[in-house]
Amino acid sequence: MQNLHASLLELIRRTSAEIPDDVQKAILDSLEREKKGTIAESALKIIERNIDLAKQKSQPICQDTGSIIFYVDCPVGFDQITFEETARGAVREATKKGFLRQNSVDSLTGLNDGTNVGPGSPTVHFHQHRSAELNVRLILKGGGCENVGAQYSLPNEKLKADRDLKGCRKVILDAVLQAQGKGCGPGILGVCIGGDRATGYEFSKQQFLRMLEDRNPNLELDQLEQDILQTANELGIGPMGFGGKTTLLGVKICAANRLPASFFVSVSYMCWAYRRQGVSLKPDGVIARWLY
């Protein structure tokens, strides 16, 4: 498993230090749109320079290297236990090398043992498929953006949000308003309509695996995504909440079945420092290709 260890270490390094191309393009486009001479423009310029510096120095884009979440698509019969052990080893080494901050705290004692390995860290989601391919995706999601995530239970009287798509739209836009610049905007929303309290958030985060420029195959959800993106960008919150034209870079929404009694809308917010990468691995664990 030496190859797998090396490949996962490289996946972590690259995820932490290099922003994916689709996100970088969206940031550069937004820089074009902002009014010259504003603090929104200067914030985006700093962001642009930061992206270049991190890549060049092979150091974290953001010091909060976040929750470490692996998504693994694996063949039937794959040894998940060995994978998880190897992933934990790679996380330990990545932390020693400074690709990851010492970022995992014992919630009861408050102690940080500096390894990033402990209950719930890293998290690995396995998904079997009937293919020989082994694909490993990684998201590093910082605490600032995680803290502005929100889950609404419909109907919501205060927001006058009923159990329909109009109601969903209202609560999603409320999440954008409440987040302001605290989640390090311009941000990207991952939303799940339905599910339970746990799966709703889980599926909302999985939306971050989509390419920024893709379109939702479900026409209703596609329209909602475009509508939220456009409306949010007319609110004037702007980069970092400084005011300006770019509040969001993208919106990704999925739907999951719900119980008759429940109607949750779960909103996850991803900061501009959108750390998401993936690799397809050969059977010997060597990286065959990058997925983003």
Partner 1 sequence: MTSITIPISEETIRSLKVGDAVSITGTLFTGRDAVHKFLHDGGKLPPGVSFQDGIIYHCGPVVIKDEQGRWKVTAAGPTTSIREEPYQGAIIGEFGLRGVIGKGGMGDKTLAACQEHGCVYFHAVGGAAQVLAESIKAVRNVYFLREFGSPEAIWELEIENFPAVVTMDAHGNSLHKEIFAASQAALAKHL
Q: Which residues of the shown chain bind partner 1 in the complex (CB under 8 A)?
A: 39, 42-43, 46-47, 49-50, 53-54, 57, 59-65, 97-98, 101-103, 105, 110-112, 114, 142-144, 147, 160, 170, 173-174, 177, 180-182, 184, 231, 234-238, 240-243, 271-273
Please state whether 37 falls in left (phi above 0), alpha (psi between -120 and 50) or beta: left
Nearer to partner 1, 113 or 284 (CB): 113
CB of residue 144 to partner 1, shortest distance in Å: 5
Q: Which CB atom, from 110 or from 217, has the smaller least distance to partner 1?
A: 110
Nearer to partner 1, 28 or 111 (CB): 111
Of 167 and 278, the one with the shorter C-beta distance to partner 1 is 167
Query: From the CB of 265, what's the least distance to partner 1, in Å?
Result: 15
Q: How far is CA 219 from CA 45, 133, 223, 252, in A?
A: 35, 30, 6, 13
Beginning with the edge strand found earlier in the chain, give each strand of the sheet holding 287-290 in spatial order.
Answer: 123-129, 67-75, 134-141, 275-281, 287-290
Nearest to 251 by CA among 203, 187, 198: 187
In the complex, minimum distance from the CB of residue 14 to partner 1, in angstroms, rounded to a whole number: 15
CA distance linking residue 60 with residue 212, whole number of Å:
21
- Least distance in Å: CB of 264 to partner 1? 20
Q: How far is the CB of 135 from partner 1 (least distance, A)?
A: 27
CA 60/CA 211 separation, integer angstroms: 22
Smaller CB separation from partner 1, 95 or 135: 95
The smaller minimum CB distance to partner 1, of residues 75 and 143, is found at 143
Shorter beta-carbon distance to partner 1: residue 105 or 286: 105
C-alpha closest to that of 78 among 134, 1, 123, 4: 134
Q: How far is the CB of 73 from partner 1 (least distance, A)?
A: 29
Shorter beta-carbon distance to partner 1: residue 160 or 282: 160
Positive or negative: CA dihedral 76, 258, 250, 151: negative
Four-residue CA torsion sign, 194, 183, 13, 1: negative
Considering the complex, what minimum distance in angstroms separates the CB of residue 280 from partner 1? 28
Residues 234 and 9: their CA atoms lie apart, in Å, by 41
Q: How far is the CB of 285 from partner 1 (least distance, A)?
A: 27
The answer to whether 33 and 246 have CB atoms below 8 angstroms apart is: yes
3-state secondary structure of 253: strand
- Residue 191 CA to residue 225 CA, distance in Å, equals 9
